[in-house]
Structure 1
Amino acid sequence: MRSLAAIALICTATAPQAHPHIFIDAGLVAIVDDAGALQAVEVTWAYDAFYSLLITEDFGLDPDGDAVLTPQEEEQLRGFDMQWIPGYDGDLVARLDGAPLKLSRPRDVSLVMREGRIVTTHVRDVVGAPVLAGHSLSMKPFDPTYYTAYDVTLNVTVEGLDGCMIARHLPDLDAGMKQMQSALSKLGRDEDAIEAGFPEVGEAFATEVEMTCAPR
């Protein structure tokens, strides 16, 4: 992800690698108003235990190392992953009937520590608030560079609208690996992948969530 904390972690690496360094379990909630308009999307990120440890150490928290934060420490850490640089899309692509949706920057940010893992939530408003009833919403969380790997294992639902079918379309991992290997094969042994414009392969490993809602 393109938060300041993640950029700092990237800069400490000795060389770019063609595999993920951060693993996130993601959840998505489409928030619909009484008129059936899609107002916002709530996003949950549950970070892997190792990255959670790195972040707490970086912030000087959890000095006893028990992977439990006090409410004060959670408040101090809240928003660490919301310092988005210009142009960062929050690692989320949303489309309605195939047309891209514009999402706002995050608001209503929360953070807790659960079983040694940092779990954050944020809400992104949907610009224009299009009607969801009778349409299909697609959401795909992914990091184009594949530095962060997202797995949609948490809650996925529509809030405020009944009659919606939800499907998870898993990626073709074999095809994704072939795409990555093809890109790697074109790099020289001593060539820097970033300077060479290494292709963005993250979407090839992304799960697509599709929410199809019946007309009212």
Structure 2
Amino acid sequence: MRFKTWLLTALLGLAPLPALAHPHIFVDARLEVLSDDQGNLLELRHVWRFDEMFSSSVLLDFDKNGDLKLDEHELAELGETMRTSLADFHYFTSITQDGKTIPIAKPDVIHVTYQDQQVLAFFAVKPEKPLRLKGKLTFGVYDPSLYTAIDFPKDTDLVPEGKGFAACKHRVVRPDADQVIAENKDSLTAAFFNDPTGTDMTKLFATKLEVTC
């Protein structure tokens, strides 16, 4: 049962859509998008704070010695489990450039701490290939399975950093769910009945950082 939480997330990609209708894990997140001085994307730095109920289940799963704490080795195992399990979900990270999806490389490590009865995860991801900051880019964090709800409480929780963004405009986009449904009613209905597990329509509802260079 130790791996049930993260394996369940991975297996949900095979489940029918009705089982994915609402989230079971809640995350408050921060995203920092870093550039170099020459106008290239360096990496996206994530900070995730998980809700107390999910964190409690993680404690039960990974606390090998039963001391109701997560020591250095247990935290490292949790981080590696997350790094492996989330690979198929691209670490919930979305980068697009002029509408084209940019592939994400696997992070070297996911650092995890356990503070105030909550799991916190820290990690950075990079595009698989060098990416020039030009055109219209979006940076978002969402779970395509709908099992995890990722929230950015403040607009300042999504920030571009570095001189490469000096000539760019940016804004935080928080889609209105009712408007998204109204504008995509036909395609959402078709997606539900034709291929409920492979449409990735969740991205329409995700909060994102939009950058125009």
TM over 0.5: yes
1:54 Cα deviation (Å)? 0.8
The CA RMSD measured in Å over matched residues stands at 3.6
Provide, for residues 46-97 of structure 1, a one-character-per-residue CA deviation record: whole Å limited to 9, x for no partner. 21111111111111358455xx644454334322311137643222221123
Q: Does 1:156 align with 2:158?
A: yes
Stretch of structure 1 that moved more, 137-146 or 56-65: 56-65
- 1:113 maps to 114
The CA distance in 1 between the partners of 2:67 and 2:180, in whole Å, is 41
Structure 1 contact 142–206 (Cα < 8 Å) conserved: yes
- 1:192 maps to none
The CA distance in 2 between the partners of 1:23 and 1:115, in whole Å, is 16
- Higher share in helix: 2
SS at match of 2:85: coil
1:176 Cα deviation (Å)? 5.6
Structure 1 contact 31–39 (Cα < 8 Å) conserved: yes
| Alignment CA distance shift 1:17-1:209 (3 Å) | same
1:175 Cα deviation (Å)? 4.2
Stretches of structure 2 lacking an aligned partner (at least 5 in a row): none
1:196 Cα deviation (Å)? 7.6
Structure 1 contact 175–204 (Cα < 8 Å) conserved: no
Stretches of structure 1 lacking an aligned partner (at least 5 in a row): 188-194
Identical amino acids, percent of aligned pairs:
23
- 1:141 maps to 141
The CA distance in 1 between the partners of 2:122 and 2:212, in whole Å, is 24
Structure 2 contact 80–109 (Cα < 8 Å) conserved: no
Aligned length: 197
| TM-score, normalised by the number of residues in structure 1 | 0.72
1:41 Cα deviation (Å)? 1.6
- 2:173 maps to 169
Provide, for residues 157-211 of structure 1, a one-character-per-residue CA deviation record: whole Å limited to 9, x for no partner. 22322535442211212246776xx85xx88xxxxxxx98466542243112113
1:20 Cα deviation (Å)? 0.7
Structure 1 contact 146–200 (Cα < 8 Å) conserved: no
Q: Does 1:35 align with 2:31?
A: no
- 1:206 maps to 206
SS at match of 2:19: coil
